[in-house]
Structure 1
Amino acid sequence: MADDDLEQIRRARLQQLREQGNDGEPSEQDAKQQRESTQRTSILTQILTPEAADRLGRIRLVKESRATDMENRLIMLAKTGQLRAKVTEAQLKELLGAVAEQQEKEESRIVVNRRGGGGWDDDDLDDLLKDV
């Protein structure tokens, strides 16, 4: 199943290169990108259940950056040996929720930069009240 998918991806990419006028000869950079893409696909098929892979594909349709981020995180977890079994759809949902919550916390932080020197302090308020 996965080999068929990889072969279809390879054929589609080769056809795309031919249409671009490269005479079917991919450049070194294109070949490198193709190898990396194939490696990513291979790793993801090894660490995701079919249902989880399907969900990740649907996420990619809506927001590609989020799907790529999740793929990178999953690949990192796999490479560091933190995954003991294939990731299920439920586990993927939990991971997505945790990442979304973390991003919300980072975005909702309010940073106040106080400038020294020329601002108001308590003495300034006292001075104003004396004048009244």
Structure 2
Amino acid sequence: MDELEEIRRRKLMELQAQRQRELEELQRQQELQRQVEMQKKAILRAILEPEARERLSRVKLAHPEVAEAVENQLIFLAQSGRITTKISDEMLKEILKRAMPKKREPKIIRK
């Protein structure tokens, strides 16, 4: 009976150690993701005027996938040195207009 208890105790300790490793890995991933987000915000703060930044944050609420794509594109352009001036609200409007999916007009067919 002692041998069975010893096996159970070892198995329990192994499971607890595995859970601890998984938790630590999750924490590392969250920290890395937080650092990436902070870097993105810093780059966007440097290349966008305040009004443009505000507009992008509003778009992010309504269309997160579009805003994310525009953010990534702007960051790429900034890192490659292709953005030389701060992006104004008007410039951002044009960028967003091109990035937004086209709306389909509903057709009403009467018979």
* Length-normalised TM-score, structure 2: 0.65
Alpha-carbon offset, residue 98 of structure 1: 2.4
Structure 1 SS opposite 2:32: helix
Letter in 2 for 1:34: R
Deviations 1:91-131 (A, max 9, x none): 0011112233xx55xxxxxxxxxxxxxxxxxxxxxxxxxxx
Give structure 2 stretches of 5+ with no counterpart. Answer: 1-22, 103-111
Counterpart residue number, 1:54: 54
* Counterpart position of 2:14: none
Contact 2:60 2:67 in 1 (8 A): yes
- Does 2:97 match 1:79? no
Aligned identity (percent) is 35
Q: C-alpha separation between the residues in 1 aligned to 2:63 and 2:97? A: 15
TM-score w.r.t. the length of structure 1 is 0.55
Where 2:86 maps in the other structure, the secondary structure is coil
Which of structure 1's runs of 4+ aligned residues deviate more than 6 A? none
2: CA distance, partners of 1:58 / 1:50: 12
RMSD (Å), alpha carbons? 1.9
- Deviations along 1:2-54, one digit per CA (max 9) or x if unpaired, are xxxxxxxxxxxxxxxxxxxx8xxx81111100110100010010000000000
1:39 and 1:75 mapped to 2: Cα distance?
A: 10
Q: Look up the match of 1:126.
A: none
2:43 maps to 43
Structure 1: gaps (5+ residues): 1-21, 105-132
Partner AA of 1:57 in structure 2: S
Q: Report the AA paired with residue 29 of structure 2.
A: Q
User: 2:91 — aligned with what?
Assistant: 91
Q: Distance in 2 between matches of 1:73 and 1:79?
A: 10
Number of residue equivalences = 79
Higher relative contact order, chain-length normalized (CA < 8 Å, sep 6+): 2
The question of whether the paired residues in 1 share the 8 Å contact of 2:49 and 2:89 is answered with: yes
Say whether 1:32 aligns with 2:32.
yes
